[in-house]
Amino acid sequence: METATSDQSLITILDDIKSSKLPAVINYGASWCGVCSQTFPAFQELSSSFKRIKFVYADIDECPETTLHIRYTPTFQFYRDGEKVDEMFGAGEERLHDRLWLLS
C-alpha cells in the first residue's frame, strides 16, 4: 500500500494511476475521523487479498489542495485503465470487498 504524504505525492500517484493499466483504489481519510480509523485495518487487510490492485491512502489534511473535492471521509475512489469508474462513501467492509472484487 502506498501513502500520499503531500499534495505533490498525491499528484504523482494520480498521474501514475492515470498512465497505468492496473486497477487502483484510493482511500481518502483523516486522522481525526473515527470511521476512517475503524475502516483502515480492513483496507490494509484487503490490500493483501487483492494483490493486482494498487492501494493508496491519502489523508485529506496532508493533501489539502488535491483533496478539496472530498466532502465525506472515508471516500474510496476506484480506477480502471486510468479512469475513475466508481466511488464509495463511508464504512462497509463487505461493500468495499465487493467493489474491489468487481475491479479486479
pLDDT digits (tens, 9 = 90+) for 10-35: 999 999 999 998 999 999 999 999 99
* Active site (annotated) includes residue 36: yes
Rounded-to-integer distance, Cα 23 and Cα 100, Å: 9
Q: What are the cell numbers at 29? A: 481519510
Sign of the alpha-carbon torsion through 94, 88, 9, 67 = negative
CATH number, domain of 64, equals 3.40.30.10
Catalytic entry in 36, 53, 96, 100: 36
Share of the chain above pLDDT 70, in %: 100
Catalytic entry in 14, 26, 33, 46: 33
Q: Of all helices (H) and strands (E), which one includes residue 91? A: none
What is the pTM for the complete model shown?
0.94
Number of domains in the chain: 1
* Active site (annotated) includes residue 33: yes
- Residue range(s) defining the domain that contains residue 27: 2-103
Rounded to 5 degrees, φ, ψ at 78 are -115, 135
Q: Is the pLDDT of residue 57 over 90?
A: yes
Q: How far is CA 7 from CA 47, 61, 65, 86, 87, in A?
A: 23, 10, 6, 22, 20
